[in-house]
Chains A and B, each alone.
Chain A
Amino acid sequence: MLPFDQDTIAAISTPPGIGGLAVVRLSGPDALATLSPLFSAGESLTPRYATYGTLIHPDLAVGEFDDCIVTYFKAPHSATGEDLIEISIHGGAYLQQKLMEVLLSAPKIRAAGAGEFTLRAFLSGRIDLSRAEAVADLIHAKDSAAHKNAIHQLGGSLRTLVQSMSEDLIKTLTIIEAELDFSDQEIDQTPLSDLLAPLVKLLKTTEDLLETYFYGRRLEEGFRVPLIGAPNSGKSSLFNLLLGEDRAIVTSRPGTTRDTIEKTIIVAGHSVVLIDTAGLRKTDIEAEISGVDRSKEEIEAADLVILVHAPDTKSASLEKDINTPQITVFNKIDTITTTPTGKDTYLSCTTGEGLDQLKQLLYAQVINMVNAGVGGVILNSERHRDVFKRFSLQLSAGVAAIKGEVGPEYVASDLRLALDILGEITGKTTPDDILNQIFSGFCVGK
């Protein structure tokens, strides 16, 4: 990632946290081509016009990601001098992340580096030259902060992990490079297939790491825990009960859709966002008409689901369809004489019986989620996740190349590219680094 590459970059442009609105920007030659298929009004984007529509996310229900406003600025008449697209969506970290996720999965897009939009704006002359030093300082500050941030947030463990992954990759690459630069008369040759094992291991580590991203985001924003159940199962009462007992921090914010209520509580020192889907009742009829089950969306996005059953409701089938970790609750036990079986906990919102047990279960689950991660490393930055996704793709290409018996110089090319991608976090590996490894590891030279 250099100041003179022609990639299209994406970033959240509004400050982190929760606001009414968030703006995600795309700048570069592939901005329009990337966004059009993801936007309902993609065909009708006109330069400098704000266009209303909905975003399309492949994983979510068709047509119902979020309403948004997209403004398209055609190069050179934009803040960066390149094609620039601004997407305004409702605030809420969850939506921002979902949008970034779908944008970054497009082939020619990558996450912007520190200060990159500003840099491009400057280089195309959109920012006054008299502000040059200010811009330079800004980039410097952002870059250092980005570095410090990476170190600070996870106690340096991300860097350590990436460093060791990098070293493993360099070891394999060194063997290939040594054999390319020193003939079989000078050093022993290793069959390429022997090199597969360490690479496959690296791939697994990367996949595992990518899976922690979800948790990483959650650590930042709070684990999402919706209360799901049929109407009248007592969700709202339970919701209020859980909140009422824990007044440590309670913040109210607009939810992912307009029809839920979210409140944050602290469990085991971590934010947990409880979501009451009871609010849906108001728009149940509309929901039925439009055929969209909003609770399904919440379940998709959830880290943990609290399924609320009650004697007078038919909700036995709920658990079967849900893959997310769940706590099943049987509510209103004060209204029945024989306690059913098969649920995690039984309580009564009226008497408060069983509430402690539920909280303990909640606590245990949160601890579980926090302890997930690879070697204690959890990804929580969109940019880092983008790096690892691209790394995984590139490394897989290298593995496929070895299996396809492609020439070693092509395998080396694949692996070098993968190493460069990792280098966006650790710093670049140069040919001299590889040569140093070769000389210290092999007795070469006639």
Chain B
Amino acid sequence: MLENSAKPTVSRESYDVIVVGGGHAGIEAALAASRMGKETLLITMEIQALGRASCNPAIGGLAKGHLVREIDALGGEMAKATDATGIQFKMLNRSKGRAVWSPRAQIDKIAYSAYMVETLSSQPLLDLYEDEAVRVIANPDKTAVTGVSVRGGKEFNCHSLILTNGTFLNGLIHIGDKQFSAGRVGEPASIGITESLAELGLETGRLKTGTPPRIKRESVDFSKTTLQTGDENPEPFSFSTTDFSPPNEACYITNTNPETHTIINQSIDLSPLFSGVIQGVGPRYCPSIEDKVVRFSDKSSHQLFLEPEWSDADQLYVNGFSSSLPEEVQLASLRSVPGLEKVKFIRPGYAIEYDYFPPSQLKASLETKKVSGLFFAGQINGTSGYEEAAGQGLVAGINACRTIDNSPPFVLKRDEAYLGVLIDDLITKDTDEPYRMFTSRAEHRLLLRYDNAHFRLTVKGFDLGLVSKDFYDGVKEDHRLAQLAEVEFEATYIKPSLINSTVKPQIPVTESQSLSNLLRRPHVPIESIKPLLPDWVQNLKPSLLTLIATNTKYRGYIEREKLQVERLSKHQELVIPSDIDYIPMNAISFEARQKLQRIRPETIGQASRISGVSPADVSILLILIKKHVSRETI
């Protein structure tokens, strides 16, 4: 473990890759780059704050859990760290179909951060430097990045620079009418980077997010709350985690009531959100309590979850009560909630505004279109969520290395991974609201289950050098077994009498059925046919058996989805020449031309996904590109 007082010294001033920012994006980027063999430097304002969770002390959840699994399959660190430091694990959406089950863990924030500090400190080819980066340095004609300078005066050179500054760029915290500069409470903002990027011609905007108060555990009357624990035998996030028996710490549920809402409403104009003081746009899926009370005024109560921030913590996070109301108002309203009548704050909730860079300025590799070698990942791109950030960091780290090697960029497609959907959405959409992953964003959701992430992606992680051979072999073996089982299911027939006595269908069967046909029947849950399976299949690990059964039962849907992908694949990857001018293309609608000109999609597929661009516009574009290209080659 690194001693608090020892700051690592760096031996050089020139690196292959420099990462600025030690949050979830920065960590994955720095680890990926160094693991791929590049000399890497991570600059952070505080080494002990590496991997700190700014908000919810949890990793995973709906759609986010999928991202964590994909990060694991690609050789990232988040899944392993979560397994090692989680204090409660729960599989969400258990009451629904298996394709949307998504794991979530509450973590011990302190242990998580310590895990990351240890991992980064002991990573070969990775140096850590503690200071504030203040300026991005580029070549004279501003087309390529050359380095970065820090407040202490030092200048570092690099081939690739990855910015993962999170909410720190010109961060401004609001609590009621109090405002102060900060990147996170108790940590200073980062000043200077935005301005230097603006000088390089990059556009910037402002976003906001909020966080709830942290309260003292001893001030809560738990008798008035409902206890909730996690799963008894949870599955780990990482494929490499074995012997998994984590703690199962409880969290506590309570509810607001009309009195709470009245107190909030009475002081609503003291909320910087509603008084218009805050410039940035906030996320709709993470509304502040003020938001909830005003927009859904007919709801008489909102649920609150009190979550410990680390093992046996004396500090609880009030999930569902994000707020930037004055501290007194927050306190008064919470004291009307059952169990919180005598609650004491460790810290009030607050809103934070910060700079971000519209990601339509990025290529699919996360490199900026304007300045080569400059990559953005994480909240700086307008995303929210640790998992979204980590995924981007991983991709940016990989591509920062690929440009150095002159290899083609690593880009995941929308039918390959949620990470592919995430990045494609970011660079193609025009949203001004923080982006969070939802399963509904993935049109090929049925192919992107959390339980098949490794089968989909591990080979890529291995080819990149980020996944060990053992890990890869393990995944391959599971895959082989799964495919074998599926074939056997098709070929194994069960006698009607046995079926009727075991499965007890509504209408008894009269003919032998293959196991797979049996599974595909409506009203035949996977559990009911387990006794009919061959022994070797019954003895497979439960998660693998579930995967096999799901693949079999829903084969029709899965095949249809694959056909859809096939069907749309022609011309998708066709590259659009980077110098193309859309404005004179009169046959394309004016709105489409403007959007195309602004976003400058790299491929026809991406162009077709821009809102306002119709299929007819895409047809025409296809024609005109062919013409443009053929003329160039004459």
Contacts and interface: CB of A to CB of B under 8 A. Distances in A.
Interface stretch (A206-214, A345-353, A406-414): A406-414
A444 B285 contact: yes
Contact of A443 (B61, B99, B299, B630): B299
A439 B284 contact: yes
A186 B568 CA distance: 35
A427 B614 CA distance: 8
Q: Which of A114, A122, A123, A443 has the most CB of B within 10 A?
A: A443
B533 interface: no
B62 A182 contact: yes
Contacts of A180: 62, 93, 96, 100, 439-440
Contacts of B588: 140
B487 interface: no
Interface string A175-215: 00101111111100100000000000000000000000000
A132 B522 contact: no
Interface string A152-185: 0000000000000000000000000101111111
Contacts of A114: 616
Contacts of B560: 413
B567 A443 contact: no
Interface string B393-430: 00000000000000000000000000000000000010
Interface stretch (A279-287, A370-378, A430-438): A430-438
A336 interface: no
B99 A140 contact: no
B140 interface: no
A133 interface: yes
Interface in B430-474: 431, 438-441, 443, 445-446
A122 B623 contact: yes
B615 interface: yes
A158 to B, nearest CB: 19
B317 to A, nearest CB: 10
A136 B623 contact: yes
B432 to A, nearest CB: 12
B63 interface: yes
B92 A445 contact: no
Contact of B622 (A3, A179, A183): A3
A443 B292 contact: yes
Interface in B273-296: 283-287, 292, 295-296
Interface stretch (A4-12, A33-41, A44-52, A222-230): A4-12
Nearest to B319: A446
Contacts of B627: 129, 132
A379 to B, nearest CB: 22
Interface string A405-424: 11111101100100000000
A115 interface: yes
Contact of A407 (B97, B429, B572): B97
Interface in B521-578: 522-523, 554, 557, 560-561, 566-572
A410 B626 contact: no
A113 B431 CA distance: 31
Contacts of A443: 287, 292, 295-296, 299, 302
A409 B623 contact: no
A136 B626 CA distance: 12
B570 A177 contact: no
A214 to B, nearest CB: 29
Contacts of A179: 96
Given A185-B303, A432-B611, A446-B320, A132 B624 contact: yes
B446 A140 contact: no
A136 B522 contact: no
A102 interface: no
Given A7-B567, A439-B284, A439-B285, A183 B93 contact: yes
Interface string A92-128: 0000000000000000000001110001001100000
Interface residues of A, number: 55
A407 B627 CA distance: 47
A66 interface: no
Interface in B568-618: 568-572, 585, 587-588, 604, 608, 611, 614-616, 618
B443 A404 contact: no
A133 B587 contact: yes
B61 to A, nearest CB: 8
B440 A435 contact: yes
A259 interface: no
A115 B618 CA distance: 13
Nearest to A407: B97
B503 interface: no
B619 interface: yes
Given A139-B620, A183-B62, A407-B100, A3 B587 contact: no
B98 A181 contact: no
A135 B585 CA distance: 13
B446 A410 contact: yes
Given A135-B623, A183-B92, A439-B284, A409 B97 contact: yes
B95 interface: yes
Contact of A410 (B292, B554, B572, B585): B554
Contact of A2 (B61, B95, B608): B608
Contact of A6 (B62, B98, B431, B566): B566
Nearest to A184: B95
Nearest to A444: B285
B602 to A, nearest CB: 16
B89 interface: no
Given A113-B615, A180-B93, A407-B96, A123 B623 contact: yes
B112 interface: no
A143 interface: yes
Interface string A377-421: 000000000000000000000000001111111101100100000
Contact of A136 (B93, B95, B624): B624
Contacts of A432: 429, 431, 611
A181 B608 CA distance: 25
B571 A140 contact: no
Contacts of B100: 180, 407-409
B620 A140 contact: yes
A181 B296 contact: no
Interface of B: 56, 61-63, 92-93, 95-100, 283-287, 292, 295-296, 299, 302-303, 305, 319-320, 429, 431, 438-441, 443, 445-446, 522-523, 554, 557, 560-561, 566-572, 585, 587-588, 604, 608, 611, 614-616, 618-620, 622-624, 626-627, 630-631
Which 4 pairs show the lowest CB-CB distances between chains A and B? A407-B97, A404-B522, A4-B571, A4-B570
30 contacts: A1-B615, A2-B615, A4-B571, A6-B567, A6-B570, A113-B615, A115-B616, A119-B619, A123-B622, A139-B619, A140-B620, A177-B440, A180-B439, A180-B440, A183-B61, A183-B92, A186-B303, A404-B523, A407-B97, A408-B96, A409-B97, A410-B557, A434-B440, A435-B438, A443-B302, A444-B285, A445-B286, A445-B287, A446-B305, A446-B319
